[in-house]
Amino acid sequence: MSDPHDAAEFQKHVKKYLFVFYALIVGTVATVAASWAHIDSVALTVTIALFIACVKGFLVAGYFMHLMSEKKMIYGILIATAFFFAGLMYLTVLSMQPSSLIHMK
């Protein structure tokens, strides 16, 4: 946003956007293809799917949403949010597990 309104400067950004676009398409195809492969382990399937999704997510957030060049204030807000989201997910799932792993001996 504080970038110069120089057309040439912007062409470089446009190149980046196009690269991200192609990467996203490749990622989509990859994730569907991975689901076609008969992987037995549920954990591995989930890991691969989430890994590809995270890569795509970082590309969208980093380049399309300009997070790579964004200011500290925004980063701070998002990191706090990520922490609380992780807390919500992790602690809730842990509290509802009937597994014996969560009882003190």
Is residue 68 a contact point for another protein (CB under 8 A)? no
Closest C-alpha among 65, 53, 62, 67 to residue 24: 53
Smallest gap from residue 28 Cβ to another protein (A)? 5
Is residue 96 a contact point for another protein (CB under 8 A)? yes
Distances (CA, A) of 90 to 24, 25, 41, 59, 86: 28, 31, 22, 25, 6
Residues 6+ apart with CB under 8 A from 35: 45, 49
Smallest gap from residue 49 Cβ to another protein (A)? 4
> What is the spatial distance between Cα 43 and Cα 56, in angstroms, rounded to a whole number?
20
- Interface with another protein by CB under 8 A: which residues? 1-3, 5, 7, 10, 13-14, 17-18, 20-21, 24-25, 28-29, 31-32, 34-36, 38-40, 42, 45-46, 49-50, 52-53, 56-57, 60-61, 64-65, 71, 73-74, 77-78, 80-82, 84-85, 87-89, 91-97, 99, 102-104
